[in-house]
């Protein structure tokens, strides 16, 4: 997957940005959940820096499935990736000092909520605790990928959600297992920073898509619609499609993540989102239909009270990120085209 021409083009653009990549040279970096979409792209950038700039970065990839890691990176042909095969909920042992821990081990799959909510909580809470214990031992800085969902249901007067805003979550709602445990993870990080001097950065991310995303049996709207297109199926909507979303292509999100990693001061929180092309789910479906004419849009309206967020979406305020010089560059139609082409290459 690393050698995909789509991914290689993205990596070239990412590494040409005004980011202090030199700060990562000769560092040991642990990535948890390393085969996830955003984690994979983060890892690909490090691999690319090694390949093109002799950065001498050692990558520790914590995964549960070593075969998937091989599929994603072909690590057996390289000497810069060291697999750590375990659950993040188990104590983490690394044989040498770690400089950065990029903590991304978590499930955001809506279908997992109805099947294994306790597993979601364990990964976000116990997994984060294990990461922080390692950071305390090694002096590593922790970069934690959180979610826009931690903001909960906000006051209706809030039109853009800043990092300092916070709304309500219903702890008796099964759906809250994901955002509540992410909130607890954030508080664990802040508590370790206060009590033990851990250095951290927290990023709250909204609706990232692109090569490497899970498209089969995932449950998130972009994944499901891309799956329909790739498999040349009708585009199926399980609602009226009136809800609105704003999607951020993976390369834009990765640029933001690296800017935050190396261009910012410690112990800060940032939103990552592309709010420039808000679109209804229905309009997204018809955009895909127009782009790939072999599909029709079918409405198969269902009710599921547990899988999806119930409150109205409020755009994220990304002005704090924009002050670093970041702005989203990939248009929605172009990002979709890249994603579909990437998956068609795999067939």
Strand pairing category for 100-103 and 235-237? unpaired
**Catalytic annotation, pick one of 2, 44, 178, 209:** 178
- The span from the CA of 164 to the CA of 330, in Å, is 27
Which of 145, 30, 33 is CA-nearest to residue 89? Answer: 33
User: Do the Cβ atoms of 256 and 264 come closer than 8 Å?
Assistant: no
Which of 119, 121, 126, 65 is CA-nearest to residue 91? Answer: 126
- The reply to whether 151 belongs to the active site is no
- Write the DSSP symbol of residue 176: G
- The span from the CA of 264 to the CA of 258, in Å, is 10
User: Do the Cβ atoms of 236 and 284 come closer than 8 Å?
Assistant: no
90 CB neighbour count, 10 Å cutoff: 10
Output the DSSP codes for 12-67: HHHHTSS--GGGGTT-EEEEETTTSHHHHHHHHHHHHHHHHH----EEEEEES-HH
- The span from the CA of 103 to the CA of 99, in Å, is 13
- The span from the CA of 195 to the CA of 97, in Å, is 21
Which of 330, 250, 337, 242 is CA-nearest to residue 283? Answer: 242
99 CB neighbour count, 10 Å cutoff: 17
- Give the C-alpha distances (Å, rounded to integers) separating 254 from 37, 43, 272, 327: 10, 10, 10, 12
Q: Is 296 left (phi over 0), alpha (psi -120 to 50) or beta?
A: beta
Angle made by CA atoms 126, 128, 130, in degrees to the nearest 5: 70
Catalytic residues, by residue number, are 178
């Amino acid at each position: 997957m690393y050698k995909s021409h789509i991914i290689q083009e993205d990596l070239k653009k990412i590494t040409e940005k005004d980011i202090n990549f030199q700060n990562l040279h000769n560092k040991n970096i642990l990535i948890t959940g390393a085969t996830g979409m955003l984690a994979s792209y983060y890892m690909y950038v490090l691999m690319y820096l090694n390949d093109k700039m002799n950065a001498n970065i050692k990558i520790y990839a914590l995964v549960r499935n070593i075969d998937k890691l091989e599929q994603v990176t072909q690590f057996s042909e390289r000497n810069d990736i060291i697999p750590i095969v375990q659950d993040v909920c188990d104590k983490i042992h690394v044989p040498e000092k770690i400089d950065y821990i990029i903590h991304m081990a978590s499930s955001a799959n809506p279908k997992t909520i109805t099947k294994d909510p306790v597993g979601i909580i364990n990964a976000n809470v116990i997994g984060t605790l294990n990461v922080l214990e390692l950071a305390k031992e090694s002096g590593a800085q922790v970069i934690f990928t959180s979610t826009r969902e931690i903001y909960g249901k906000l006051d209706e007067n809030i039109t853009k959600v800043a990092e300092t805003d916070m709304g309500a979550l219903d702890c008796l709602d099964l759906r809250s297992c994901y955002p509540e445990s992410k909130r607890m993870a954030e508080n664990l990080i802040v508590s370790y920073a206060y009590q033990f001097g851990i250095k951290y950065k927290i990023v709250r991310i909204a609706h990232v898509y692109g090569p490497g995303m899970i498209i089969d049996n995932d449950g998130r709207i972009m994944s499901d619609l891309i799956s329909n297109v790739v498999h040349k199926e009708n585009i199926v909507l399980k609602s009226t499609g009136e809800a609105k979303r704003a999607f951020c292509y993976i390369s834009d999100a990765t640029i933001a993540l690296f800017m935050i990693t190396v261009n910012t001061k410690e112990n800060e929180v940032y939103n990552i989102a592309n709010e420039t092309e808000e679109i209804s789910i229905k309009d997204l479906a018809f955009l895909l239909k127009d782009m790939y004419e072999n599909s029709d849009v079918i409405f198969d309206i269902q009710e599921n009270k547990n899988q999806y967020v119930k409150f109205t979406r409020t755009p994220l305020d990304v002005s704090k990120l924009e002050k670093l010089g970041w702005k989203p560059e990939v248009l929605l139609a172009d990002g979709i085209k890249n994603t579909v082409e990437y998956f068609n290459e795999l067939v």
